[in-house]
A = this chain, B = another copy of it.
Amino acid sequence: LDRFDTVTIIGVGLIGGSIGLALRSRGLARRVVGVGRDPGRLDEATRLGAIDHGSTDLSLGVRHAEVVVVCTPVTRIAADAVAASEAAGPGVLVTDAGSTKRELVAAIEAHPAGRRTFVGAHPIAGSEKKGAGAARPDLFDGRACVLTPTTATPPDRLDRARAFWSSLGCRLSEMDPTDHDRALAATSHLPHAVAAALAAAVPAEHLALAGGAYRDGTRVAGSDAALWTGIFLANRDAVLHALDDFEAHLAAFRQSLSQTDEQALIAWWDLARTRRQLYDAKAEGPGSTF
Residues of A within 8 A of B (CB): 124-127, 144, 146, 173, 183-184, 186-188, 190-204, 206-223, 225-226, 228-229, 232-233, 236, 239-240, 242-243, 245-247, 249-250, 253-254, 257-258, 260, 262, 265-266, 268-273, 275-280, 282-283, 288, 290
Contact of A201 among B186, B195, B223, B266 (CB under 8 A): B186
By beta carbon, the residue of chain B nearest A225 is B269
Question: Are B220 and A212 closer than 8 Å at their CB atoms?
Answer: yes
Contact of A233 among B218, B225, B260 (CB under 8 A): B260
Q: How many monomers of this chain does the complex have?
A: 2
> Knowing A236-B260, A260-B236 touch, does A275 contact B202 (C-beta < 8 A)?
yes
Which B residues are CB-close (under 8 A) to A265?
225, 229, 232-233
Q: List 11 A-B contacts (CB under 8 A).
A: A183-B206, A187-B202, A192-B213, A197-B250, A200-B272, A204-B275, A216-B217, A221-B269, A221-B276, A225-B265, A243-B250
> Knowing A225-B270, A233-B265, A257-B233 touch, does A199 contact B275 (C-beta < 8 A)?
yes
19 additional A-B residue pairs with CB within 8 Å, beyond A125-B211, A214-B279 = A184-B209, A186-B202, A187-B209, A188-B210, A188-B213, A190-B201, A191-B213, A196-B249, A196-B272, A197-B253, A197-B272, A199-B276, A201-B245, A201-B249, A204-B275, A207-B279, A215-B279, A218-B276, A221-B269
